[in-house]
Chains A and B, each alone.
Chain A
Amino acid sequence: MRYIEPHGHMVSRTTDDYQAMVTAGCRAVCEPAFWAGFDRGSVSGFRDYYRQLTEYEPARAAKFLLPHFSWLCLNPKEAEDLALAHDVLALIPEFLDRPNVLGIGEIGLNRNTRNELKVLEDHIELAVKHDQLILVHTPHLEDKLKGTTLIVDLLRSHRRVKPGRVIIDHVEEHTISRVLDHGFWAGITLYPDSKSSPPRAVDMLEMSGRERIWLNSACDWGVSDPLAVPKTALEMRRRGHTEDFVDAVLYRNPVRFLSQCPKFQIGDES
Chain B
Amino acid sequence: MSKPRSSRSSAGLPAKPVQGAIVDTGFIPTRAKLIDVAAFLDRAERYAVQDDFRCAALRAAAALLIDGKPERARRILEKLSDPTTAPAEKSSGKAALGAWPSADSRGATPTTPRRRAKK
What is A's interface to B at a CB cutoff of 8 Å? 9, 34-35, 37, 75, 77, 80, 110-117, 139-146, 149-150, 152-153, 156, 172-174, 177-178, 180-182, 194, 199-200, 203, 205-210, 218, 220-222, 238-242, 245
Alpha-carbon separation in the docked complex, A189 to B84 (Å): 25
Question: Which residues of chain B are near A205, meaning CB under 8 Å?
Answer: 12
Report yes or no: B99 in contact with A142, Cβ–Cβ below 8 A.
yes
Interface positions of B from 1 to 50, Cβ below 8 Å from A: 1-5, 7-18, 21-22, 25-26
User: Which residue of chain B is the closest to A106 with respect to CB atoms?
Assistant: B119
Which of the residues B25, B80, B90 comes within 8 Å of A113, measured between beta carbons?
B90
Which of the residues B4, B13, B119 comes within 8 Å of A177, measured between beta carbons?
B4
Alpha-carbon separation in the docked complex, A140 to B98 (Å): 8
What is B's interface to A at a CB cutoff of 8 Å? 1-5, 7-18, 21-22, 25-26, 71, 73-74, 77-78, 80-85, 87-100, 117-119
Question: Which residues of chain B are near A153, meaning CB under 8 Å?
Answer: 1-2
Expressed in whole angstroms, the minimum distance between the Cβ of B25 and any Cβ of chain A is: 6
Report yes or no: A113 in contact with B87, Cβ–Cβ below 8 A.
yes
Question: Which residues of chain B are near A242, meaning CB under 8 Å?
Answer: 14-15
User: Which residue of chain B is the closest to A191 with respect to CB atoms?
Assistant: B118
Alpha-carbon separation in the docked complex, A235 to B116 (Å): 31
Alpha-carbon separation in the docked complex, A149 to B96 (Å): 17
User: Which residue of chain A is the closest to B101 with respect to CB atoms?
Assistant: A142
Q: A111-B96, A117-B87, A218-B119 are in contact. Are A239 and B8 (CB under 8 A)?
A: no
Question: Which residues of chain A are near B87, meaning CB under 8 Å?
Answer: 112-114, 116-117, 150
Expressed in whole angstroms, the minimum distance between the Cβ of A180 and any Cβ of chain B is: 8
Expressed in whole angstroms, the minimum distance between the Cβ of B114 and any Cβ of chain A is: 12
Alpha-carbon separation in the docked complex, A220 to B94 (Å): 17
Expressed in whole angstroms, the minimum distance between the Cβ of B117 and any Cβ of chain A is: 7
Expressed in whole angstroms, the minimum distance between the Cβ of A193 and any Cβ of chain B is: 9
Report yes or no: A174 in contact with B74, Cβ–Cβ below 8 A.
yes
Question: Which residues of chain A are near B85, meaning CB under 8 Å?
Answer: 146, 149
Alpha-carbon separation in the docked complex, A137 to B106 (Å): 28
Report yes or no: A222 in contact with B80, Cβ–Cβ below 8 A.
no
Question: Which residues of chain B are near A210, meaning CB under 8 Å?
Answer: 12
Report yes or no: B2 in contact with A178, Cβ–Cβ below 8 A.
yes
Expressed in whole angstroms, the minimum distance between the Cβ of A202 and any Cβ of chain B is: 9
